[in-house]
Structure 1
Amino acid sequence: MGITRTRQTYEFPTGIAPPLGEVRAWLRERLSEVGRTTIADTELLTTELVTNAHEHADGVAELRVSVPSGRDVVRVEVDDRRPRLRPHRVIKTDPTSPHGRGLALVEAISTEWGVDTGAGFKTVWAEIPVS
């Protein structure tokens, strides 16, 4: 399929854990013309954002991915329906804990990330450099 200059949308079934393997395969199909490092970084970053929405915001409403025209980034957007719950970087106090690294990974992998809110939804987005 190649690099998509238009937004591609993955819609999640409600009430179940997100199918992360399917999400990663979906991303690989849509980003087949970017480098393997970009695809791997996008898969990791997207998995973290989707998992955070599932665990902390009652699930994912929608996932979008695109390579905006004229820019050398992959943009990932994850929607949920908890606009008041805004993500923040967690400072790890217990290095043996399996939790608390997600947004640190997002911050490390992305060139930029942020949160947009609207009536009844929140979008956490991040941009990954294309290599």
Structure 2
Amino acid sequence: MGMTRTRQAYEFPTGIAPPLGEVRAWLRERLSEVGRATIADTELLTTELVTNAHEHADGVAELRVSVPSGRDVVRVEVDDRRPRLRPYRVAKADPTSPHGRGLALVEAISDRWGVIARAGRKTVWAEIPVL
């Protein structure tokens, strides 16, 4: 993991649902140096962040993934088109609902995560431990 990785970005087409299968394949190509379990966790977490941005934040703009040099984590950043920082809460999901588990899942998979305001956008980021 001591290798420096440049950050790589996936840009999303506007006006359509994110192509999640393509996103997962894109992640697998870029994360070939980490183990299968880490890739699976990264795919799950990224799918959740991308879906949240699409459904709740006026669409996903860009996804970035990197393996920071000297750290045993995969860093995922998802930009959405809503710069306003809504309070993020990890609420207890209604067990009968198919929705509402997203941030609890992000919190369970990642070492840490957060939200950053940017010009005209918001970035939700998470760091997944390399197993």
TM over 0.5: yes
With over 3 angstroms needed to count, the CA separation of the structure-2 counterparts of 1:93 and 1:66, relative to structure 1, is: closer
Contact 1:9 1:65 in 2 (8 A): yes
- Normalised TM-score (structure 1): 0.93
Return the offset for 1:93.
5.1
Return the offset for 1:81.
1.6
Q: Deviations over 1:6-62 (max 9, x none)?
A: 101000000000000000000000001101110000000000000000000111100
Deviates more, 1:4-13 or 1:55-64: 4-13
Superposition CA RMSD, Å = 2.1
Contact 1:110 1:129 in 2 (8 A): yes
Residue segments in structure 1 that go unaligned for 5+ positions in a row: none
- Runs in 1 of length 4+ with deviation above 4 angstroms? 1-4
Contact 1:3 1:30 in 2 (8 A): no
Contact 2:83 2:122 in 1 (8 A): yes
Return the offset for 1:5.
0.7
Q: Deviations over 1:87-120 (max 9, x none)?
A: 5134235211000000100000000000000221
SS of structure 1 residue aligned to 2:106: helix
Query: Which residue does the alignment assign to 1:125?
Result: 125
Deviates more, 1:92-101 or 1:6-15: 92-101
Contact 1:62 1:79 in 2 (8 A): yes
